[in-house]
Homo-oligomer: A and B are copies of this chain.
Amino acid sequence: MSPVQPVETVTVDTGDTRYDILIGADVWADDASWAGLPKAAHAVIVTNTTVDPLYGDAVAARLARLHSRVTRVVLPDGEAYKDWATLNRVFDHLLGEGCDRRTVLYALGGGVVGDMAGFAAATYMRGVPFVQLPTTLLAQVDSSVGGKTAVNHPLGKNMIGAFYQPRRVLCDMSVLKTLPAREFSAGLAEVIKYGPIADDAFLGWIETHLDDLLARDAAALAHAVRRSCEIKAQVVGADEKETGVRAILNFGHTFGHAIEAGLGYGEWLHGEAVGCGMVMAADLSARLGGMAPEQAARLTSLIARAGLPVRAPALGEDRFLSLMRLDKKAEDGEIRFVVIDAPGSASMRPAPDALVREVIRAHGGA
């Protein structure tokens, strides 16, 4: 890869709106990245206590060139705070500072900050513009596309939210250097996912370049983020409101959600549970005949190399199954799985309980 890296652009067109994801080594430092964003007197940075000390001042200084007033809301870090009470701190700030309908919100952080700032932007005065500055690999590949914003409710994750599109997403590869290894690997799980469900050649590329990715090589990362966003944009574009094909983006998530719920949310990172979930979903696909056993093994090996768990926690066979029946994709108690039909191609379907039990047993979940 060339040492001077160009900025890669993915344009997302939802029909109603259109925005760019800019991806590159130093996208935030590049004046061109900020050109043409909504002009307003006031900008508000929504971030958290972990990210603010790292990037808050630099981003505020950058925004001071575009807005005459830049203020910050620093939220506590973690999924536990993705709730109404924390969201209300954003509203308190916006109202306390006299923000109007033109005020621009900048989401500076990972998925939780992006989801909350996005939902605040979707609902403050019935909608103000927002820009995403994702600081985790997971947020860059997963939250950049799809317009999903939400907070949790005590009775369920992401239960209250809106579809709302950002004006732009600026994915800066240099910020990934400060990401803890475990979180980086969790992000890789979602990158790897795009191979089996949509692009077998990309899976091969990841296998070849995994060491570059793990070394946080900016050019390799930019390619991985771009291709992930492109695939997601393509899938989501065919199905914005998640009624059909978009569900294939949940490959590995049915098993993964059971692991997260069974261990208690936060014990494993979401990406870790998805990594192990993909191992199990690949095995299920192999047992259903859509994936050659050696392809499933190849995927498992890649997931392990990425630093992700490949053996499920021993939740017990019955408990594992009943947790999966609570999955949002279940209908009338019938669990539905994203299954690989051929390399780079997936669909959603039910599977016989007996087969699912075999998979749970084979991977340590029983």
For A156, the chain B residues whose CB sits under 8 A away are 95
Within the complex, the shortest CB–CB distance from A127 to chain B, in Å, comes to: 7
Chain A contact residues, majority secondary structure? mixed
For A84, the chain B residues whose CB sits under 8 A away are 84, 88
Q: Cβ of A155 < 8 Å from any Cβ of B?
A: yes
Question: Could you give, for residues 162-195 of chain A, a 1 whenever the CB lies within 8 Å of some chain B CB and a 0 otherwise?
Answer: 1100000000000000000000000000000000
* B123 and A153 contact, CB distance less than 8 A: no
Q: Which residue of B lies closest to A331 (CB)?
A: B100
Q: Which residue of B lies closest to A16 (CB)?
A: B16
CB contacts under 8 Å to B, within A85-139, are 88, 91-92, 95-96, 100, 122-127
Q: Cβ of A38 < 8 Å from any Cβ of B?
A: no
Q: Would A127 and B163 be within 8 Å (CB), given that A16-B16, A84-B84, A84-B88 are in contact?
A: yes
Q: Cβ of A159 < 8 Å from any Cβ of B?
A: yes
* Given A84-B84, A123-B162, 20 extra CB contacts under 8 A: A16-B16, A84-B88, A91-B153, A91-B159, A92-B155, A95-B155, A95-B156, A95-B159, A96-B155, A122-B162, A123-B123, A123-B160, A123-B161, A124-B160, A125-B159, A125-B161, A126-B148, A126-B163, A127-B163, A162-B162
**Could you list 20 A-B pairs, sorted by A, with CB under 8 Å?**
A16-B16, A84-B84, A84-B88, A91-B159, A92-B155, A95-B153, A95-B155, A95-B156, A95-B159, A96-B155, A100-B328, A124-B160, A125-B159, A126-B148, A126-B149, A126-B150, A126-B163, A127-B162, A127-B241, A162-B162
